[in-house]
Chain A
Amino acid sequence: MKLVLAFSICCFLMSTQQSLLAQQKAKQSNAVYLDEYKKGLWAPAAQDTAYFVVERKQQIEKVLKQSLPVQLLIDSNEQVMLAQQIALRDSNFIRYTVDKRNGRKPLLSQIFGVYPARPGDLRKDMVYLPGSVARVEMYNFAYNLSSVAIVDVFALKVLSVNHYPQSQPDLPAALVKLAVQIAVNAPEVEKALGFKPSADQPVMSSTKTALNRTRCERSQHLCVAPTFVQGKRALWAIVDVTDQRLVGLRWTNVGEDAPSIVVTEKKLQNENIADCYCEQVNKLNRDGWKMDYVLTSSDGLMISGVQFNGRDVMHSAKLVDWHVSYSNTDGFGYSDAVGCPIFSQSAVVATEPPQIFELVEADTTAGFVLEQKYYSELWPGPCNYSYAQRFLFYKDGRFRVTCASIGRGCGNDGTYRPVMRIVMAGEQQRFSEWQQNGWVPWKKERWQLQQPTTNYAPDGSQYKIERKDQTGYLIEPGKGQFGDGGRGDKAFVYVTKNHPEKDEGETDLITIGPCCNTDFRQGPEKFIDKVPENIYDIKLVIWYVPQMKNDDAPGKQYCWAETYLENGVYKVKAYPCFAGPLFKPIQPK
């Protein structure tokens, strides 16, 4: 966990320090986003052992076992308790407390407040005695929905019920306390403030309330922001009450002349990623590997200047396009670009920072992984997309460039064709293909499709790229052998002459191919001249375009995602389809 957090907050902490140092650098982020730590893609989140979180989880567990999964607001006022009981007898008021599509599984709801009815709550046709009408507010954590019942406690009946999607009532005191506890106990808050705050410190001097309103637009969770005022600045700590975790931090200016801004999950994520990963090249040095990485406008996460044990390995690698076509409908699909979340040419954007984690194989740490995920806002809803990029680096000098679709798309007949661009280090390069009798060099620009009849070298490689001094890499495509769920790449491989002067992808490429070509016309063929150029002993570009067909059949899901219920709220189960080649250093003879 330390690794990920250190990674995510580095930009922010630098900015805090910088402000103390008279802000010598102009471009620093005021925002930090804390990714929910998971050991790998879509693994369950780590369990929080803080007592207040454990208590809350136990409460939830208890509520979900009740016949009506609604947590009551406990109050000494009998009228408050009575109003809740009347409201909960109304079938319309409780209509969203179970998932009717899913075996009537319980969805977590909680009564947040019971108040005297407001004038606007009462219709002219309602008959009631003055002072006998209460407003009961209930929040549904699964649907992010508020239900409001107007109740006549004298007549013991419900006068009206309304449901408000994507809205949250004022929090009850118990949840305010929980949010504050999460914030004041977060080490990130302590680091940002320079001291550990007490539970009565997050109070806005202007409003006298402990919490600022905020939104978690992407997760659609209940979020609030305990805010700590320090002189002319305020630190917003966004807390996700649904998941009981700190989402992130953001400094704002306060005072009459300060612009009034609302800090939300999405703003915080966007600012943090733009500041720290789109406008800043980051360096990585681990297990003998050194490289730079940056999020591009439309070519995903790009790594460059890759070295292993001081030797140049790769000039750059990135993900240019995702082509998605649907076989049941001719010409229907999309060309998606992935990259920065704001001010970019991306259709599916990074909402979380890149992650670096251990690469574990057979219980040993074999190296590390650099991973970037991208999301549509409403994923995994139908016709929304998520993608991932993973660069795997082994301690023995091997590396793998991969990407995955994580569903869900517009149908179960989709084929994904990502376009990867890989440029190896070295000026005089030779590219060869394994045939039955050994390695056969490619002398001219061309492409080839990996097929069932493809020949592989005894070690499983299909291609080899080497420099004139005969150092280089064997290239092994995916055939379902990598243990990451991949079922084989069926990849088109193109090799073209590198033309930095023409800019054939050295900088950000706009979309290079349409959605729906099912053959080699995926875009890179544009860089093969009518009379193909010589590619022997010159600098090359390798374009790797795997093909992954999705599947939603139970037990066989692939390039797919679906929701399931956990603790009364919806979570995502994902079935990524990873593809991409493994590069193995050629052993010196």
Chain B
Amino acid sequence: MHCITHHPFFFLSGKRQVPVYFVCSLLIVIHLCPIKGITQRQYSCAKVPLFVKQKGFDTLRSALSTAEKRYMGLVLIELAQKPAAGEQPDLNNERARYYQHPSWKSAGYLASITLDRSGNAYAIPAPHISLLYNQPKQQNKIYRVDSKTGIMMPWMQLPTPKVETLQNPYGLLGLTYDCADGSIFAATVAGSTRTNEQGVLLHISTRDKKILDTLKGIDAMGLAVFQGLKGERRLYFGKIRTGEIYSVGIGANGKFIRGSVQLECSVSGIGPRGDDAPRKIRFDRDLMIVNGIAFNYNLQASSEKPETTYVYLRDPSAKTWQLINIQ
């Protein structure tokens, strides 16, 4: 599956060389049921935001998108066709209608979205082709869309680097919600330069916006929490510069367990390009699905960034991941 994208974030499948601006960066908020995994207790607790129904959108075929053609920011879409029973909707399908609250474009272009157990959406900004609507100083801010009112407000300004760099227009690049304790993991590359990897992984409590812990010196994009059968949690993160996927243990106190960082697998040197960065990581039963794109810390339109999906199978005895498919 080659994917056409604008932003190096949430994407859908498509065909190569379709017009640049047809973007699909969607977060499906439907069919989010607990999944019983074999080797991990994996489930999603995310709820559909209440405003989706309030606006009269069919929750079975609606999604939040940050990459709709001619829309800046967040958009609620409803697909024209209902998916067949038991099937996921095809996000490439025609849109029946759109809704955009005025506040949803206040942060310029957005990238990742994640939902919490109350249906609140958290989103991070990222520039799209130019910095006109995404000023560099504003790229390290997490936004929150209230489940009831649908209003998007700045939620948390993360620390910004003391020295601005012209080399890197990005700030936050990764975001994921941890159902286990209602916290958020975020990845920022603000301040990173070609010779100095300054990225930070942050663990943030959504209750009091307290930064529970940080892991510095890592430029990461894809983030996902893996929960083992005994409840132990590890944060998986995709390193942008090397294409490697690492994991780090998360302690009961929310701290990253020092010395527990380990290499899980790598998409470097494989796939049609060979230099992909893991943009998105997700777990599905025994599978780890990684979406990779080329990422060079510039603003090249992501229509030029075909996406490749790498599928890994967990070997529970060896606790390793085996690449089983590249799409």
Number of contacts between A and B (CB, 8 Å)?
Answer: 109
Q: Which residues of B contact A343 (CB under 8 A)?
A: 167-168, 193-194, 296-298
Question: Which partner residue on chain A sits nearest B268 by CB separation?
Answer: A262
Q: Which residues of A contact B305 (CB under 8 A)?
A: 377
Contact with A along B300-320 (1 / 0, CB 8 A): 110111000000000000000
> Given A334-B129, A342-B194: A384 and B20 within 8 A (CB)?
yes
Q: What's the Cα separation between A484 and B193 when bound, in Å? A: 39
User: Are B274 and A264 touching (Cβ within 8 A)?
Assistant: yes
User: Are A334 and B304 touching (Cβ within 8 A)?
Assistant: no
Contact with B along A356-400 (1 / 0, CB 8 A): 000000000000000000001110011110000000000000000
Query: Per a CB cutoff under 8 Å, which of B19, B168, B274, B304 touches A376?
Result: B304
Q: Which residues of B contact A513 (CB under 8 A)?
A: 132
User: Are A349 and B131 touching (Cβ within 8 A)?
Assistant: no
Q: Which residues of B contact A334 (CB under 8 A)?
A: 129-130, 301
User: Are B132 and A514 touching (Cβ within 8 A)?
Assistant: yes
Interface of B (DSSP majority class): loop
Question: Which partner residue on chain B sits nearest A329 by CB separation?
Answer: B70
User: Are B130 and A336 touching (Cβ within 8 A)?
Assistant: yes
User: Are B275 and A264 touching (Cβ within 8 A)?
Assistant: yes
**B299 at the A interface (CB under 8 A):** yes
User: Are A381 and B17 touching (Cβ within 8 A)?
Assistant: yes
**A270 at the B interface (CB under 8 A):** yes
Interface size on B, residues (CB 8 A): 33
**A42 at the B interface (CB under 8 A):** no
B326 to chain A, nearest CB (A): 11
Query: Per a CB cutoff under 8 Å, which of A267, A337, A383, A410 touches B299?
Result: A337
A120 to chain B, nearest CB (A): 13
Q: Which residues of A contact B303 (CB under 8 A)?
A: 378, 383-384
> Given A377-B304, A381-B17, A384-B303: A344 and B298 within 8 A (CB)?
yes
Q: Which residues of A contact B275 (CB under 8 A)?
A: 264, 266-267
Contact with A along B101-125 (1 / 0, CB 8 A): 0000000000000000000000000
**B73 at the A interface (CB under 8 A):** no
User: Are A345 and B194 touching (Cβ within 8 A)?
Assistant: no
Q: Which residues of A contact B294 (CB under 8 A)?
A: 217
Q: What's the Cα separation between A264 and B303 when bound, in Å? A: 21
Interface of A (DSSP majority class): loop
Q: Which residues of B contact A262 (CB under 8 A)?
A: 269, 274
Query: Per a CB cutoff under 8 Å, which of B19, B130, B194, B273 touches A511?
Result: B130
* Beta-carbon contacts under 8 Å, A166-189 to B: 166-167
> Given A297-B166, A342-B194, A383-B21: A347 and B274 within 8 A (CB)?
no
Q: Which residues of A contact B228 (CB under 8 A)?
A: none
**B169 at the A interface (CB under 8 A):** yes
> Given A344-B167, A383-B21: A332 and B301 within 8 A (CB)?
no
**A318 at the B interface (CB under 8 A):** no
User: Are B194 and A346 touching (Cβ within 8 A)?
Assistant: no
User: Are B129 and A347 touching (Cβ within 8 A)?
Assistant: yes
Q: Which residues of A contact B132 (CB under 8 A)?
A: 335, 510-511, 513-514
User: Are A383 and B20 touching (Cβ within 8 A)?
Assistant: yes
Q: What's the Cα separation between A335 and B130 when bound, in Å? A: 6
* Beta-carbon contacts under 8 Å, B31-82 to A: 70
Q: What's the Cα separation between A298 and B275 when bound, in Å? A: 24
Question: Which partner residue on chain A sits nearest B297 by CB separation?
Answer: A343
**B89 at the A interface (CB under 8 A):** no
**A541 at the B interface (CB under 8 A):** no
Question: Which partner residue on chain B sits nearest A510 by CB separation?
Answer: B131
Q: Which residues of A contact B273 (CB under 8 A)?
A: 215, 217
Contact with A along B1-34 (1 / 0, CB 8 A): 0000000000000001101110000000000000
Interface size on A, residues (CB 8 A): 45
A292 to chain B, nearest CB (A): 18
Q: Which residues of B contact A508 (CB under 8 A)?
A: 166
Q: Which residues of A contact B135 (CB under 8 A)?
A: 510
Question: Which partner residue on chain A sits nearest B298 by CB separation?
Answer: A344
Q: What's the Cα separation between A334 and B128 when bound, in Å? A: 10
B138 to chain A, nearest CB (A): 12
Q: Which residues of B contact A217 (CB under 8 A)?
A: 273, 294
Query: Per a CB cutoff under 8 Å, which of B16, B167, B301 touches A297?
Result: B167
**B272 at the A interface (CB under 8 A):** yes
> Given A262-B274, A511-B131: A341 and B298 within 8 A (CB)?
yes
Query: Considering residues B17, B21, B129, which has the most beta carbons from chain A within 10 angstroms of its beta carbon?
Result: B129
**B136 at the A interface (CB under 8 A):** yes
Q: What's the Cα separation between A184 and B131 when bound, in Å? A: 46
Q: Which residues of B contact A507 (CB under 8 A)?
A: 166
Q: Which residues of B contact A381 (CB under 8 A)?
A: 17
Question: Which partner residue on chain A sits nearest B165 by CB separation?
Answer: A343
Q: What's the Cα separation between A378 and B17 when bound, in Å? A: 8
User: Are A376 and B301 touching (Cβ within 8 A)?
Assistant: yes
Q: What's the Cα separation between A340 and B169 when bound, in Å? A: 13
> Given A264-B275, A298-B166, A383-B19: A348 and B130 within 8 A (CB)?
no
Query: Considering residues A267, A381, A514, which has the most beta carbons from chain B within 10 angstroms of its beta carbon?
Result: A381
Q: What's the Cα separation between A274 and B296 when bound, in Å? A: 12
Q: Which residues of B contact A335 (CB under 8 A)?
A: 129-130, 132
Question: Which partner residue on chain A sits nearest B127 by CB separation?
Answer: A345
A357 to chain B, nearest CB (A): 27
Q: What's the Cα separation between A511 and B272 when bound, in Å? A: 33
Query: Per a CB cutoff under 8 Å, which of B17, B269, B300 touches A346?
Result: B300
Q: What's the Cα separation between A331 and B166 when bound, in Å? A: 28
User: Are B21 and A410 touching (Cβ within 8 A)?
Assistant: yes
Q: What's the Cα separation between A340 and B70 when bound, in Å? A: 27
Query: Per a CB cutoff under 8 Å, which of A167, A332, A347, A410 touches B70?
Result: A332
Given contacts A383-B20, A384-B303, 14 further A-B contacts (CB under 8 A): A215-B274, A270-B296, A337-B131, A340-B298, A342-B297, A343-B193, A343-B296, A343-B298, A344-B297, A345-B298, A349-B296, A383-B21, A510-B131, A510-B132
The 7 closest A-B pairs by CB, nearest first: A383-B20, A377-B304, A343-B167, A511-B130, A335-B130, A297-B166, A510-B131
Q: Can you give 14 A-B contacts (C-beta < 8 A)?
A: A165-B272, A274-B194, A334-B301, A337-B299, A341-B298, A343-B168, A344-B166, A346-B299, A376-B304, A377-B304, A382-B19, A383-B19, A383-B20, A511-B130
> B residues engaging A (CB < 8 A)?
16-17, 19-21, 70, 129-132, 135-136, 166-169, 193-194, 269, 272-275, 294, 296-301, 303-305
